[in-house]
Amino acid sequence: MIPALDARGVHFAYEPGRPVLTGADLALYAGRRLAVLGPNGGGKTTLFRLLAGALAPDAGEVRLDGETVRRTRRGLTHLRQQVQLVLQDPDDQLFAASVHQDVSFGPVNLGLPAEEVTARVDGALAALGVVDLGDRPTHLLSFGQKKRVAIAGAVAMRPRLLVLDEPTAGLDPAGVEELLAVLHSLHATGTTPVVSTHDVDLAHRWADDVAVVASGRVVTGPAGDFLGDAALLRSARLGPAWAPAVHRLLDAAGFTGARPRTAAELHELFGPPAVTSPGPVLHEAVTASAHAWRTAKETHRGP
Ligand SMILES: Nc1ncnc2c1ncn2[C@@H]1O[C@H](COP(=O)(O)OP(=O)(O)OP(=O)(O)O)[C@@H](O)[C@H]1O
Ligand SMILES: [Mg+2]
């Protein structure tokens, strides 16, 4: 199967003698959700910028549908119609005065008819839950609002591949769930989403495949296997996901039901807690530990 987009043997350095990628391979397959993990400074953002044509490899190649991307105006325009990159920092992405202008910039630039532009912009603003912000100046938005608007701008382009650099960083928990719902519906309607993150639990519940970018190279594999591999994850300054361990515990206990992928699903699995409010239990625990601490202090002081 030919990847929709792939990097092959890519070398890249911003400065001579300080290579960031030294023979990186990464394949994005249509319909496969990919999570990209790796330490700070490992090269995730650099790799994404190479895939989206914003940077040119020093060696190796980036291919779209198996064809080397030409770094001509035509070649890059073609790539950008298929692949949208949402930058890690929304301040690097947003530039128009108002939210509406920013999200409509891409579709207008594609030369689409006015009704099509309106439909795409309205749809993207609604999908990201930012319809109310349409008239707001972009520079007055909160960080999380800016992130959503930046994603709306990419969604309005209806790309085949949507590459999101740390889209959940800085979002509140409900915002993360909403973003996953957006990615779910985009995926269901034919967009292939790629996400970088430091959140192994999010990667475990969401991704089909995982790529770890570290030491200039990329290692890719199925999410389920990779995210239970503590040694591999440690090499990328990550801890293992909790879900594989919980699944193993449930297996060992002979539990045959569903396997929870989120804390909320785990809570649901065991039904409502016996004590509906943690208040009395917490109060008792805090009082007991305060008493133990006082006793220990008094004993230490002696008579
Ligand atoms: N514009 C630049 N000029 C010079 N060096 C750069 C530039 N951008 C990034 N780098 C360097 O390239 C390396 C890879 O950075 P990159 O931003 O790709 O990492 P990352 O995996 O995305 O990290 P993070 O998890 O912090 O986002 C780092 O050592 C960084 O200092
Ligand atoms: Mg980055």
Distance 190 CA to ligand 1 centre (A): 31
Distance 183 CA to ligand 2 centre (A): 20
pLDDT class of 225 with cuts at 50, 70, 90:
confident
Q: Which of 22, 36, 46, 49 to probe ligand 1 with, by most ligand atoms within 8 A of CB? A: 46
Q: Which atom of ligand 1 is nearest to the CA of 39?
A: 25
Helices (H), the chain: 44-51, 73-82, 99-109, 114-127, 143-155, 173-188, 200-206, 223-226, 230-235, 243-252, 263-269, 279-301
pLDDT digits (tens, 9 = 90+) for 18-59: 999 999 999 999 999 999 999 999 999 999 999 999 999 999
pLDDT digits (tens, 9 = 90+) for 191-210: 999 999 999 999 999 999 99
- Output the residue whose Cα is nearest ligand 1's atom 29: 41
Mean pLDDT of the chain: 90
Quick one: pLDDT at residue 242?
87
- Output the residue whose Cα is nearest ligand 1's atom 7: 14
Percent of the chain exceeding pLDDT 70 equals 90
Ligand 1 pocket residues where CB is under 6 Å: 14-15, 20, 38, 40-46, 88
Pick 260 or 303 by higher pLDDT: 260
Q: What is the C-alpha to C-alpha distance for residues 55 and 51, in angstroms, rounded to an integer?
A: 8
Model pTM score:
0.87
pLDDT digits (tens, 9 = 90+) for 108-156: 999 999 999 999 999 999 999 999 999 999 999 999 999 999 999 999 9
Q: What is the C-alpha to C-alpha distance for residues 137 and 102, in angstroms, rounded to an integer?
A: 10
Distance 21 CA to ligand 2 centre (A): 14
Find where tokens 């400065």 sit. Answer: 15
Res. 301: pLDDT tops 60: no
- Output the residue whose Cα is nearest ligand 1's atom 15: 41
Q: Which of 45, 49, 51, 85 to probe ligand 1 with, by most ligand atoms within 8 A of CB? A: 45
Pick 237 or 299 by higher pLDDT: 237
Res. 241: pLDDT tops 80: yes
**Closest-lying ligand to the alpha carbon of 214?**
1
Contacts 24+ apart (CB under 8 A), 76-82: 79/52, 79/53, 80/52, 80/53, 81/110, 81/157, 81/159, 82/4, 82/5, 82/159, 82/160, 82/161
Mean pLDDT of the region 97-101: 96
